[in-house]
Amino acid sequence: MPPAQFIVHNGKQILLMDFSSATSTAEITRMAEEIKKFVALHQPQSLLGLVDFTGIRIDRATTGIIKDMAGHNRKYIRFIALVGLGSIRSVMLRMMLFLSGKSNHKVFGTRDKALEWLGYK
């Protein structure tokens, strides 16, 4: 399955960026590059995105890769939902998003809840 693909929820086209099958930093890097290329084919602020990190090992290297991809994708994605970060990372990211005032990013415990939120955007 490609790391970037469209799914439909509540009649909305949502870009699923799925890292859940990644088993190494090299694979995460490859997937992030594929996602960046796919996202760049679209108009600025035209995408609703769901990123699934379920099961991947997040360390300094993968954090850098993810930040680079997020920076690249920022101009293309209107709203983005994140899942699979684990409880501590989720709490930390929610706090950072709250303090930064970013209302177009949201962290969820499940894909279903993330899709529900994106389906109303």
Q: Average pLDDT by consecutive 10-residue portion of the chain (121 residues)?
A: 94 96 95 98 98 91 92 95 86 80 88 94 81
Instruction: Return the pLDDT at 96.
Output: 82
Residue 82 sits at φ, ψ, to 5 deg, of -120, 135
Euclidean distance between CA atoms 11 and 23, whole angstroms:
32
Q: Count CB-CB contacts under 10 A for residue 14.
A: 22
Euclidean distance between CA atoms 32 and 119, whole angstroms:
24
Q: Give pTM, 2 decimals.
A: 0.90
Instruction: Return the pLDDT at 98.
Output: 78
Q: Please, are residues 107 and 99 in contact by the beta-carbon 8 Å criterion?
A: no
Euclidean distance between CA atoms 116 and 38, whole angstroms:
24
| Of 82, 12, 78, 9, the residue nearest 46 (C-alpha) | 78
Euclidean distance between CA atoms 90 and 110, whole angstroms:
12
Residue with tokens 């090299």: 26
Instruction: Return the pLDDT at 88.
Output: 79
Instruction: Return the pLDDT at 44.
Output: 98
Does domain 4-118 correspond to CATH entry 3.40.50.1370? Answer: no
